[in-house]
């Protein structure tokens, strides 16, 4: 539309045949047409710049935009290179991923195979464990049976050994009994079975002295055995034989403290001339068993018992009964003492008595302990005045 207006203006000037700066009208019309076109173009361009910000920015900021575009293109080029590198790396990674996936699938297949194999092996292991358990149980049962059989065999061997020992002991005892019977018939038995060899009261000031006391006691017993069996020889060797258990028993009791009566006794009958004597120990605590004046036995001499023989028999019975009563109360010492002179006077008075009966009592003259000798006295209850001696002192 601006071009039409310019052309129209040029036509009007040409028709008016105007002259400008002495130019011809035609040239003037051309000049005005050009000037009008230029003005119109400039006005249109200015109007476009004023109205359109993009045109204005493109006109005045073209250098910056070109620099920015160049930078953007460079960045785009770098980005494209980076993108190409990234795409190559992505392709490589994708290939690696595919390879890894194939490896993973292969590994999973191998794992599955191993899992299946493991399950099979575990099943076989469980079966083997069950078999092992059964075999262990059978083995343990066999071991238990073997132990039972071994124990049974051991007990049988022990029983056989014990039986053999019993047989040997019985054979030895039988031989000893035969020898003892023969010796008894000949009157050659020097030491009877269970007869005391020696006796001692032992009270240790200190438990460590037990072995010394035992050695001293066994030495005395050995000397007494020599005197009984080989009286013409001096003790030159150990004649008595005592088991170790007996020695340990003595030591154990002595270490407990207190006073003990130890009696070494013969285990069998031994004839004179033998050189070996088996003994054992009789260990008992020492205690008081009798008090002075304690009555141990009594008897009545009847009217018809007036002869010396019957009186002696009655007194012997009284003394034996008193001795037995003392033994029953715990007396271990076989020795009995009595005043023989007073006893003779008592016998004479009993023989010549006038009373029809005479009651006699045997009593202890002293307080006695287990290992003390028995001191006896005999008294006549209510004797005729002047007819009986005073026997309370012996």
Condensed to tens digits (0 to 9), the pLDDT of residues 126-139 reads 888 888 888 888 88
pLDDT for residue 393 is more than 50:
no
- Check pLDDT > 70 for residue 2: no
Contact criterion met (CB below 8 Å) for 264 and 218: yes
The more confident residue out of 52 and 388 is 52
Distance CA 350, CA 383 (A): 9
Dihedral, 181, 186, 187, 190 alpha carbons, nearest 10:
-70
Span 117-126, pLDDT tens digits: 888 888 888 8
Contacts 24+ apart (CB under 8 A), 238-243: 239/275, 239/276, 239/277, 240/197, 240/264, 240/277, 240/278, 240/279, 241/276, 241/277, 241/278, 241/279, 242/218, 242/278, 242/279, 242/280, 242/281, 243/280
Task: Give the pLDDT score at 21.
Answer: 65
Please say if the pLDDT value at position 364 is more than 70: yes
Higher-pLDDT residue of 284, 385: 284
At 272, the pLDDT band (50, 70, 90 cuts) reads confident
Burial (Cβ within 10 Å: 0-12, 13-18, ≥19) of residue 164: exposed
Answering whether pTM is above 0.75, one says no
**Residue 17: its pLDDT value, please?**
62
Chain segment 22-42, per-residue pLDDT in tens: 677 677 777 777 777 777 777
Indicate whether 43 pLDDT > 80. Answer: no
Cβ-contact 289, 218 below 8 angstroms: no
Distance CA 306, CA 347 (A): 10
Other beta carbons within 10 Å of 222 = 21
Pick the most confident of 162-171, 211-220, 231-240.
211-220
pLDDT at 31: 75
pLDDT at 320: 92
Q: What is the mean pLDDT of the chain?
A: 81
Q: Which residue has the higher pLDDT, 370 or 56?
A: 370
Question: Model confidence at 187, in pLDDT bands (50, 70, 90)?
Answer: low
Quick one: pLDDT band at residue 294, thresholds 50, 70, 90?
Answer: very high
Percent of the chain with pLDDT over 70: 84
The arithmetic mean of pLDDT across residues 308-313, rounded, is 89
pLDDT of residue 185: 53
- Higher per-residue pLDDT: 48 or 357: 357
Average pLDDT on 301-329 reads 89
Q: For a pLDDT cut of 90, what percent of the chain falls above it? A: 8
Q: Which residue from 309, 360, 305 is spatially nearest to 338, judged by alpha carbons?
A: 360
In angstroms, the CA 253 to CA 264 distance is 15
Looking at residue 58, its pLDDT comes to 65
Which pLDDT score, from 0 to 100, does residue 394 have? 39
Of the listed ranges 15-19, 137-141, 273-277, 362-366, the one predicted with least confidence: 15-19
pLDDT band at 49, cuts 50/70/90? confident
Confidence of residue 388 (pLDDT cuts 50, 70, 90): very low
């Amino acid at each position: 539309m601006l071009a039409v207006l310019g052309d129209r203006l040029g036509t009007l000037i040409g028709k008016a045949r105007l002259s400008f700066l002495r130019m011809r009208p035609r040239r003037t019309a051309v000049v005005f047409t050009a000037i009008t076109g230029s003005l119109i173009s400039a006005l249109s361009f200015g109007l476009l710049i004023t109205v359109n910000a993009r045109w204005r920015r493109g006109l005045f900021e073209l250098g910056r935009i070109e620099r920015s575009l160049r930078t953007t293109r460079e960045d785009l080029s770098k980005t494209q290179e980076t993108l190409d590198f990234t795409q190559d790396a992505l392709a490589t990674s994708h290939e690696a991923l595919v390879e890894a996936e194939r490896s993973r699938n292969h590994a999973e297949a191998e794992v599955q195979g191993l899992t299946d194999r493991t399950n099979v092996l575990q099943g076989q292991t469980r079966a083997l464990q069950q078999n092992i358990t059964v075999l262990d149980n059978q083995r343990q049962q066999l071991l238990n049976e073997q132990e039972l059989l071994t124990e049974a065999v051991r007990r049988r061997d022990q029983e056989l050994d014990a039986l053999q020992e019993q047989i040997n002991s019985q054979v030895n005892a039988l031989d000893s009994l035969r020898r003892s019977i023969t010796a008894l018939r000949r009157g050659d038995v020097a030491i009877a079975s269970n007869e005391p060899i020696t006796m001692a009261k032992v009270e240790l000031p200190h438990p460590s002295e037990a072995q010394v006391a035992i050695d001293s006691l066994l030495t005395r017993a050995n000397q007494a055995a020599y005197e009984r069996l080989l009286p013409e020889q001096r003790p030159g060797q150990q004649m008595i034989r005592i088991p170790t258990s007996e020695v340990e028993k003595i030591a154990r009791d002595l270490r407990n403290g207190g006073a003990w009566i130890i009696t070494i006794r013969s285990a069998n009958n031994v004839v004179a001339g033998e050189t070996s004597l088996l003994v054992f120990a009789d260990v008992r605590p020492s205690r008081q068993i009798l008090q002075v004046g304690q009555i141990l036995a009594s008897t009545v001499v009847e009217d018809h018992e007036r002869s010396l023989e019957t009186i002696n028999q009655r007194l012997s019975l009284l003394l034996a009964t008193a001795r037995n009563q003392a033994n029953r109360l715990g007396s271990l010492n076989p020795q009995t003492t009595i005043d023989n002179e007073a006893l003779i006077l008592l016998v004479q008075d009993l023989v010549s008595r006038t009373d029809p009966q005479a009651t006699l009592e045997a009593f202890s003259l002293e307080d006695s302990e287990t290992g003390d000798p028995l001191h006896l006295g005999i008294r006549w209850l209510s004797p005729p005045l002047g007819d009986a001696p005073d026997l309370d002192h012996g």
